[in-house]
Structure 1
Amino acid sequence: MLKAQYKVRGKIPQDVIEAVEFEVPELAEDEALVELIASPINPSDVLTLTGDYGILPPLPAIGGNEGVGKIVKLGGKGPALGQTVMLPVGIGTWSTHMVCKTAQLIPVPNEADPKQLAMMTINPPTALLMLEEFVDLKPGDWVIQNAANSGVGSYLIQLAKIKGLKTINVVRRESAVEGVKALGADVVLVDGPKLAKEVASATGDNLPKLAIDAIGGAATDRLAASVAMGGTLVNYGLMSGEPCQVSATSFVFRDVTLKGFWLARWFRNATPEKQMAVFGQITKYIVEGKLQTKIHAEYPVSEIKHAVAAAAEGGRDGKILVTG
């Protein structure tokens, strides 16, 4: 049995993590042994390894924050052996096997694609909640986002379409345009100084009420200039490594509001009923085939260094998965 462990953090994320052997302890009556099926590597995982994420676990730690597995042994009562379950968030999911409290395991449909279910805990609810929590959008309204070819971006396009919303999707390179269009995007634009004019032309001046920013820096300002009067701009990441920039013109003369979204904070404040409603909705869409994202490559836990290196590279078309 292997776990992907790191004892230090550093600038090159794959250098600080390694697969180490371990033995599973005896199970208590309220515990289960879960075998990993798949766990994604998200940008936040890479930033955690470099020490640049907003919240960091104590060291030593095991990488990975979400995924699915199947129950292979029970200490007492619990879900049936072989049942596919969501892994508890933040337990260190890049491990061939995990000991989990049975009360924390949420069964998911065995007939659904487990690799798509493995990616449902972080990116899909982030996209869904940003569409629902900030602006009262109606079918036919426009939403604009950058980093549209990211994991969150791909889910946002699909969820917006389910809700009858139209999306303007901003990417940073021409080579990403066709892939985003294939997801069902209404409009795809390459970021640049003319973005606001291109958005106005594409929407017939029915400008977006909501903008979603994952990049920060000057890219935030270009989104702010592209939304409607009184529009809301929501930031959830800083892929540029720079603080959000918004000109006084957008704040003072166009009454644009800049807000932040962090899924971990939402989890802390949301009731269990609200959380289950969100995950129930996402699970339903995945089972129905309405919600999915591309997988770029899969690596076993034994190849965690290669997996992290691949996830840290730019220009990928899909997620990197860690598998058992």
Structure 2
Amino acid sequence: MKQIQFARTGIPSEVVACVDVPEPASPGPGEVLVQAQAFPINPADILTLRGGYARRADGVGVPGSEAVGVVVATGEGVANVAVGDRVIYLCRDNWLAFKCVPAHQVMPVPRQADLLQLAMLKVNPATAHCLLERFVALGADDWVIQNAANSGVGRSLTQLARLRGIRSISVVRRDDVSAELMALGATAVLRDGDDLAARVREQTGGARVALAVDAVGGAATARLADAVSDGATLVNYGGMQGEACIVRPDQLIFRDIAVRGFWLTRTVESMPYADAKLMYDALSGHVLAGNLHTPVEARYRAEEIQQAVAHAERGGRHGKVLVEFSN
């Protein structure tokens, strides 16, 4: 079978390879065997290949934060899925054609929904969902502001906020994505800059900006903190800038801004399976209804993984890069 792997960390497109390995054994009690169909290349996957993301100490092996596939065999005692079910993995290290995992590490998703959208369901939509649900009780008059709004998480958050009737401000670094984000449901799209807070106040009319979502870090974090209301919460889930988040003492002390971090992996691992199923059922329902969509810029075969990873590293993209296993 085909397996994507890396033996060392470094330049992602150079260290990753598609190799042939034996298929796994039949599933044991409580296990399922899944045949993967497609996976996206996420920023976390690129960081993993570079050696800059949380994983085991040796830093090598099979990458892959998510994938979608079909259950082809089940072990004794498995009740949550059956042979023929389409599933997404809740575990990591998923870029391989067949994988045998405990049944609680897969989640059934509707076969009628678009395969490629389901391949991207586990990480970005779930992160956006948790960012909106877990930190602040948002009312109808509240606003949410986020940077990296053109990212997969950013697009998902905008669409989910619209579905909940929450007004959102998308902060971007590229003017060419503004129309796309407004079409997704953003209330406003603003270019990042030193005067961001003043432009946010003008846009909101002084209404409460209760939640800020940061994926950039560095000085961009401080600009978001300046833009929110006193007593608001700022949640960081990424570091695109490659710098420590900057939050000034006056923002913490005099304005009572709360700063939190979020990592989906830890959240999902600690979440009861029934709760995770409720979340992913709701998200996959939005996908099926056409209310939650992530653009796809390119599709590659597993054998083209080096080209796919190189494409995923490019700036200025207008969608995700996905990889598919041949049947």
With the shorter chain as reference, the TM-score category is over 0.9
Query: Which residue in the other structure is 2:119 paired with?
Result: 118
Q: CA contact under 8 A between 1:199 and 1:207: conserved in structure 2? A: no
Once the two structures are overlaid, the 10-residue window that deviates more, 228-237 or 68-77, is 68-77
Assess, with a 3 A threshold, how the Cα gap between structure 1 residues 228 and 107 changes in structure 2: closer, same or farther. same
- The answer to whether residue 89 in structure 2 is matched with residue 87 in structure 1 is yes
Assess, with a 3 A threshold, how the Cα gap between structure 1 residues 247 and 98 changes in structure 2: closer, same or farther. same
CA offset at residue 295 of structure 1? 0.9
Assess, with a 3 A threshold, how the Cα gap between structure 1 residues 202 and 179 changes in structure 2: closer, same or farther. same
Query: Which residue in the other structure is 2:45 paired with?
Result: 45
Paired residue type of 1:13: P
State how far apart, in whole Å, the 2-side matches of 1:28 and 1:173 are: 48
Give 3-state SS (helix, strand or coil) of 1:179's partner: helix
CA offset at residue 106 of structure 1? 2.8
Q: CA contact under 8 A between 1:96 and 1:301: conserved in structure 2? A: no
Give 3-state SS (helix, strand or coil) of 1:61's partner: coil
- The answer to whether residue 15 in structure 2 is matched with residue 16 in structure 1 is yes
Query: Which residue in the other structure is 2:317 paired with?
Result: 316
Assess, with a 3 A threshold, how the Cα gap between structure 1 residues 184 and 45 changes in structure 2: closer, same or farther. same
Q: CA contact under 8 A between 1:220 and 1:244: conserved in structure 2? A: yes
Once the two structures are overlaid, the 10-residue window that deviates more, 208-217 or 135-144, is 135-144
State how far apart, in whole Å, the 2-side matches of 1:23 and 1:171 are: 45
State how far apart, in whole Å, the 1-side matches of 2:34 and 2:270 are: 28
Residue identity (%):
43
Paired residue type of 2:5: Q
Query: Which residue in the other structure is 1:71 paired with?
Result: 71
Assess, with a 3 A threshold, how the Cα gap between structure 1 residues 25 and 268 changes in structure 2: closer, same or farther. closer
How many residues align? The count is: 322
Query: Which residue in the other structure is 1:128 paired with?
Result: 129
Assess, with a 3 A threshold, how the Cα gap between structure 1 residues 74 and 277 changes in structure 2: closer, same or farther. closer
Once the two structures are overlaid, the 10-residue window that deviates more, 253-262 or 76-85, is 76-85
Q: CA contact under 8 A between 1:140 and 1:164: conserved in structure 2? A: no
What is the correspondence of 1:260-271 to structure 2 with a 5 Å cutoff? 260-271=261-272
Query: Which residue in the other structure is 1:54 paired with?
Result: 54
Q: CA contact under 8 A between 1:224 and 1:250: conserved in structure 2? A: yes
Assess, with a 3 A threshold, how the Cα gap between structure 1 residues 21 and 57 changes in structure 2: closer, same or farther. farther
**Tell me, which stretches of 5 or more residues in structure 1 are unaligned?**
none
CA offset at residue 150 of structure 1? 0.2
Assess, with a 3 A threshold, how the Cα gap between structure 1 residues 115 and 178 changes in structure 2: closer, same or farther. same
State how far apart, in whole Å, the 2-side matches of 1:263 and 1:286 are: 20
CA offset at residue 67 of structure 1? 1.5
Paired residue type of 1:86: I
State how far apart, in whole Å, the 1-side matches of 2:55 and 2:116 are: 26
State how far apart, in whole Å, the 2-side matches of 1:14 and 1:306 are: 7
Query: Which residue in the other structure is 1:234 paired with?
Result: 235
**TM-score between the two structures when normalised by the length of structure 1:** 0.93
Paired residue type of 2:293: Q
Q: CA contact under 8 A between 2:34 and 2:100: conserved in structure 1? A: yes
Give 3-state SS (helix, strand or coil) of 1:39's partner: strand
CA offset at residue 88 of structure 1? 4.0
Q: CA contact under 8 A between 2:9 and 2:59: conserved in structure 1? A: no
**TM-score between the two structures when normalised by the length of structure 2:** 0.92
Query: Which residue in the other structure is 1:179 paired with?
Result: 180
Assess, with a 3 A threshold, how the Cα gap between structure 1 residues 105 and 250 changes in structure 2: closer, same or farther. closer
Query: Which residue in the other structure is 1:275 paired with?
Result: 276
Query: Which residue in the other structure is 1:254 paired with?
Result: 255
State how far apart, in whole Å, the 2-side matches of 1:101 and 1:270 are: 16
CA offset at residue 181 of structure 1? 1.8
Assess, with a 3 A threshold, how the Cα gap between structure 1 residues 76 and 40 changes in structure 2: closer, same or farther. same
- RMSD over aligned Cα atoms: 1.9
Assess, with a 3 A threshold, how the Cα gap between structure 1 residues 38 and 172 changes in structure 2: closer, same or farther. same
Give 3-state SS (helix, strand or coil) of 2:157's partner: helix
Paired residue type of 1:46: I
Deviation per CA, 1:196-234: give whole Å up to 9, x if none: 011000000114110000000000010000001111111
CA offset at residue 129 of structure 1? 0.8
Assess, with a 3 A threshold, how the Cα gap between structure 1 residues 57 and 24 changes in structure 2: closer, same or farther. farther
Deviation per CA, 1:26-64: give whole Å up to 9, x if none: 414545543222111111111111111133464541121
Give 3-state SS (helix, strand or coil) of 1:242's partner: coil
Paired residue type of 2:210: K
